[in-house]
Structure 1
Amino acid sequence: MKNDQRLPLRRTLLRLAAGLGAATAVRLVVADPVGTPLRPAQPSGGAQGAQAAAVVRDRPLSYRLRPMTADAPPRYRPAAPPVRTRPFEELPGLGRAMVLTFDDGPDPQYTPHILDTLREHDVRAMFFLCGEMAHDNQDLVRRISDEGHTVGNHSWTHPLVTKLPRAGVTDELGRTSEVIEKITGAAPLWYRAPYGAWNRNSFEVGAALGMEPMAWTVDTLDWTVPGTDTIVRRVREGAAPGVVVLSHDAGGNRAQSVAALGRYLPELLEDGYRLTVPQRR
């Protein structure tokens, strides 16, 4: 008889334990700063809900500005094998060809000046865009594409992707490819890891999204604001066939980067260099 009385109580305790376990799992997912989903859940109604929403909106990002919220989940397309396992570091067989690349944009203050200089000299370059910047500056993204430059993926918020779980890397790269495709009509074929920090997840997720990794060989370190003369000197001393130059058109004060481009670009052309962009094979 006592055993019969214990059975309903035991079932109740088991159900309670299962409910507590599920609630704990939900809290862990919501509290995970780098897990997925990365977009905040919609708060419940009332004053508490409004206060929670304000906290979410005011939370600083790892880069700047705000992430885009989307109603529909992103659509990821697999890439056709084979894919590369390391980023490009040189472009052999192109003669005296060099590649100019600009990261972190587009920025409405600096990117237009860089585009003006490139157009003046009829030169094409690569722009590795951050998704949140692309979303907030869509006309600039269209101009970059319409003027024949290559649009690449530089993640959504410029995080250190080696610290993200695989789902986080997928979200950062996938959302950026999606917004670029929405604006330009074509998904990016190239991507560059923020800070040049690559790992297995970064390579594999990028490949699954149909992109090739792209590194660099000459770093202008223009983000340190070393002076226009220093940026020009680094490019001129590093110039060589197959070189990929890294500069920035956003993420800070890039006036020196703009001024430096106006000086070293005509000098490179005068020296017989062909400034071009790589082609997928």
Structure 2
Amino acid sequence: MDSQRTQNIRAVSARINSFHSSIYFSQTVGAEYAKYGLEPGVEGNMAARSAPLGRVNPGVVSAAYYNYSPNFVADMLPRLWETVTPEQMVQARFDAVSAFMAELFGDRDDIALLTEAATQMTETLAPVLAAMDFAGRTLAAATADVIGGHQATTAFEKMWDVATVAREFRGDGHVASLVTAGVPGIDALMLDVATGAGFRPRAAQKTRGYTDEEWQTAQTRLAEAGLITVDKDDRGFDLPTITEAGRDLKEQVEVLTDGTVAAAWSVLDDETIESLLSPSRDLLRVIAKSGAFPSNIFARPEKKAG
């Protein structure tokens, strides 16, 4: 990381990502998806996130998601669209976000301060979104299209809309960077797991749909390449740990990813970017303390607050 500016953009982007993804393990969100006949968790989340793409072939979704098992997506997605339409799921996700944000922020004593923080984030990031070139960013472009037609009613819903577009924009750039660096999706997932700051190994494997054989093959490949070591956790499951070589590879990918978003962020000066650190931290602390990132899924939930 070659500058304080880049470090600050990464920090804000990570918190934006957490703000977006805070809905994924919410019972309130799952209940909204269940109204359409979907199982809370992986089913509902896959339908909701891919819905802006429309009723596309599973290969399009697995390519966009990148670190999900293509076989898993190919098996699940057609079944989902037999139960609910993409158009219904676009609205269902907005309804779910509205319910989740009301539950999270609705009756807090510090609601005025948090509303101000969300408003500052939304207004400050607006020029960044306006400067985004979505060419080559399929999921981000589709997501921006549906969010562009959404009339959010609260500061927190508006913040989620902005965070989601920004998250998918950097995410598509990150996928391109992984492809450039020659890192397959399952390897990228396992390297993240191996940092000890993201998914627990079994949760990552299950939610992304990899078989034991696929997971073991990738783990062996990365260990032989010197990118991870493998020990056992307290339950006897394999526990990958990233090596310095693995961290170097991840940093190479992040540098490439930084380049894919630099033009959009160039509309903000260094001081303005730095001004986003405090409000983003305040919002994420509330979300992290709410249990939005369960400890049985994430190794260090507190890291989601940046």
Q: TM-score, normalised on structure 1?
A: 0.30
Higher strand share: 1
Higher helix share: 2
| Bigger radius of gyration among the two | 1
